[in-house]
Structure 1
Amino acid sequence: MTSQLTVLSEDQRDALQELMNVAMGQSADRLARLTGTFVTLSVPRVHAVTQTLDKVLTDLGIGDEPQLVTRQSFLGKLRGEVLVCFAVSGAGELAELMGYENNDVASGDELLMDVTNILTGACINGLAAQIQAMVSFGAPSLMARAKALREVLAEQIAQGYQSLVLEVRFEVASHSFTCDLLVCITDDSVAVVIEAVDKLLSEF
């Protein structure tokens, strides 16, 4: 099935990136407050999942690196899930940023869940507010530990679960900490996003 995203104009893509930039900016602000550091984020990138898995992961640029991957679903008019990809050392870096001294696995996992919940909530609520959609959230969970994202995502993308991936990277330069946030929107709610994009464009 051809995704509606394959026919997005350049203006529509730019408007979608602007919507996501606002939403991701709220996530970056929450992470900065949480860690007490300056957080930078990349320009959001839009990926329509109509290509092969190899092409998508090559575009993402993180397909073969071992990751700690968490996930959290969101439901409502806008549906999908957020994947947060931490480097394997990510839990330790986060713990250091937040002043944790306990390095056991359970504490590290709990910390990742808390951060996932904060980033997902800020980002998706920010996006939902802009497109006037109500959303609810599932509980965050650990999707994979020290696995390549290519392996983690193969089944979902093969099943066509998501048709749109919005990607941004958060960085804390002072601690060499990075994490990649992927917003995966289901095929049946893409029309909601496109409608919001067209409305934004009509206001200019």
Structure 2
Amino acid sequence: MSSILNLTEDHRDCLQEITNVAMGQAGDRLARLLGTFVVLSIPHIEVMAPSDIAMALNSIDGNDSVSGVCQGFIGGGISGEAMIIFNDTSFSDLAKLMKYDDELDEHAERELLMDTTNVLFGACLKGIAEQIDLEFSYGPPMVLGQHMHLTEIIQQNNNRWDHALVTEINYQLEGYNVNCDLLIVLTDSSLDILLKKLDYLLY
């Protein structure tokens, strides 16, 4: 955790602003795709262990049924993964917005999950990379689980890191019951380079 401990309030504020811009771009793309207004929370940035994440997602009750997707990224010495957690109550409204008329079975829900995830991950990670002058390569998105408790979804992913810098933002669609949390997890080994990038922007 040595690099993470060097994270100052200025670094946190700078990273929050970078993330805010990138998440805004992702929200704008989603809004144009779905034809509705996207409400974003302020990015929350914290050093976390995997077990902390479930508690940090205040918008999702730990007993709620959720579905999740993750995608790894790497570039310029920075690596991490993006995760998105959807409350399962989102699927029926997502299907309406995506004009999906077929039966909403598990396969259809998986398609909706992946389509929405691709828009958010693509725009958000691209936005962050551009602001810190990097290009990321992406792994294939993977479904962490469908219709599971939040703690079970997080446990699917908790063997990859001990502590990481986690940025979390909540997306909601105005007038619809669609609620998701997007997390960007940066590993401890990436922090030295990230801090240098932030220092360059700050000073």
Q: Which amino acid aligns with 1:113?
A: M
Deviation at 1:159, TM superposition (A): 4.8
2:39 and 2:172 in contact (8 A); partners too: yes
Q: Matched residues, percent identical?
A: 38
The separation in 1 between residues aligned to 2:156 and 2:110, in whole angstroms, is 24
User: Which residue of 2 is the match for residue 168 of structure 1?
Assistant: 169
- C-alpha change, 1:91 and 1:140, in structure 2 (3 Å) is farther
Question: What is the distance in 2 between the residues matched to 1:192 and 1:171?
Answer: 32
Q: For residues 87-131 of structure 1, give each alpha carbon's deviation from its aligned partner in whole angstroms, at most 9, with x where no partner exists.
A: 112222211112211123222211211111111010011001111
* Structure 2 match to 1:88: 88
Question: For 2:175, what is the secondary structure of its paired residue?
Answer: helix
Aligned-partner Cα distance in 1 for 2:162–2:115: 25
In the superposition, relative to structure 1, how do residues 162 and 131 fare at CA in structure 2: closer, same or farther (>3 Å)? farther
* SS of structure 1 residue aligned to 2:179: strand
Write the distance in 2 (CA, Å) between the matches of 1:114 and 1:155.
21
Match of 1:57 in 2: 54
Larger CA deviation: 36-45 vs 169-178 = 169-178
**Following TM superposition, by how much is the alpha carbon of 1:76 offset from its aligned partner in structure 2, in angstroms?**
2.0
Counterpart-to-counterpart distance in 1, 2:194 and 2:53:
20
1:76 corresponds in structure 2 to 75
Which stretch shows the higher mean deviation, 120-129 or 58-67?
58-67
Match of 1:180 in 2: 181
Q: Against the structure 1 CA distance between its residues 180 and 174, is the aligned structure 2 distance closer, same or farther, given a 3 Å change threshold?
A: same
> What does 1:1-204 align with in structure 2 at a 5 Å threshold?
2-50=1-49, 53=51, 55-61=52-58, 62=60, 64=62, 65-77=64-76, 78-102=78-102, 103-154=104-155, 156-157=157-158, 159-160=160-161, 163-202=164-203
CA shift in 2, pair 1:57/1:106, >3 Å: closer
State the distance in 2 between where 1:56 and 1:143 align.
15
SS in 1 for 2:170: strand
* Aligned mates of 1:195, 1:63 — CA distance in 2: 37
SS of the counterpart of 1:79? strand
What's the TM-score, normalizing by structure 2? 0.89
Render the CA deviation track for 1:174-197: whole Å, top value 9, x for unaligned. Answer: 112111101111222122221222
Aligned equivalents of 1:143 and 1:157: distance in 2? 11
CA deviation map 1:58-82 (0-9, x unaligned): 2332361321111112122231111
Give the Cα–Cα distance (whole angstroms) in 1 for the partners of residues 106 and 71 of structure 2: 20
Task: Give the length in aligned residue pairs.
Answer: 199
SS in 2 for 1:120: helix
**Runs of 5+ consecutive residues of structure 2 not aligned to the other structure:** none
Other structure's SS at 1:175 match? coil
Select between 111-120 and 147-156 the one with higher mean Cα deviation: 147-156
